[in-house]
Chain A
Amino acid sequence: MSRPRDPNGGDRTGQREGVPAGAATSAVPAGPGLLLPRTALLSARGWTAVAAALLVMVLGVPVAHLVVPEGHALHLSAHHVGLFGKILCYAICALAMDLIWGYAGILSLGHGLFFALGGYAMGMYLMREIGSDGQYRMPMPDFMVFLNWKEFPWHWAFSDSFAFQMAMVVVVPGLLAFVFGFFAFRSRIKGVYFSIITQALTFAAMLLFFRNETGFGGNNGFTDFKRILGVPLNTPQMRVFLCVLSGVVLVGFFLIGRALVHSRFGRVLQAVRDAESRVMFSGYDPVAYKLAIWTISAVMCGVAGALYVPQVGIINPSEMSPAASIEIAIWAAVGGRGTLVGPIVGAFFVNGAKSWFTAAAPEVWLFFLGALFIAVTLFLPRGLVGLWELAMARVTGRGAAEPPPAPVAPAQPSASGASSTASAAPSATAAPGAAAPREAKGQVA
Chain B
Amino acid sequence: MTPDLMREGAARRAAYEARRASMPPRAARGGFGRPLQHLEPVFTQGVALYVEDVTVSFDGFKALNALSLTVNAGELRCIIGPNGAGKTTMMDCITGKTRPDSGKLTFGSNIDLLRLNEPEIATAGIGRKFQKPTVYERLTVLDNLAMSLAGPRSVRASLFGHQNGAESARLDELLTLIELKPAAFREAGTLSHGQKQWLEIGMLLAQDPKLLLLDEPVAGMTDEETERTAELFLSLEGRHSLVVVEHDMKFVGTLAGQHRKVTVLHEGSVLAEGRLADVQADERVVEVYLGR
Contact = CB atoms under 8 A, between A and B. Distances in A.
B16 to A, nearest CB: 23
Interface in B91-106: 95, 97
B130 A405 contact: no
Interface of A: 22, 25-27, 29-32, 35-37, 260, 263-265, 267-268, 270-271, 273-275, 277-278, 280-285, 288-289, 292, 338, 405, 423-424, 426-427, 430-431, 434-435, 438
Contacts of A35: 142, 168, 171-172, 175, 184
B153 A434 contact: no
B8 to A, nearest CB: 16
A264 B152 CA distance: 11
B147 A267 contact: yes
B143 interface: yes
Interface in B115-173: 117-119, 122-123, 127-128, 130, 134-139, 142-143, 146-148, 153-155, 157-163, 168-169, 171-172
B137 A282 contact: no
A26 B184 contact: yes
A381 to B, nearest CB: 13
Contacts of B172: 30-32, 35
Chain A contact residues: helix, strand, loop or mixed: helix
A29 B169 contact: no
Given A264-B147, A264-B161, A288-B154, A427 B183 contact: yes
B181 interface: yes
B289 interface: no
Contacts of A431: 185-186
22 contacts: A29-B182, A30-B175, A32-B168, A32-B172, A263-B158, A264-B161, A268-B158, A270-B139, A271-B139, A274-B137, A275-B135, A277-B118, A278-B130, A281-B95, A282-B122, A284-B147, A288-B155, A289-B158, A405-B190, A424-B182, A427-B182, A435-B185
B160 to A, nearest CB: 8
B63 interface: no
A130 to B, nearest CB: 42
A284 B184 contact: no
A338 B137 CA distance: 14
Nearest to B213: A281
B184 to A, nearest CB: 5
B197 interface: no
A38 to B, nearest CB: 10
A292 to B, nearest CB: 5
Contacts of A405: 190
B183 A275 contact: no
- Residue with the highest number of chain A CB atoms closer than 10 Å, among B117, B135, B148: B148
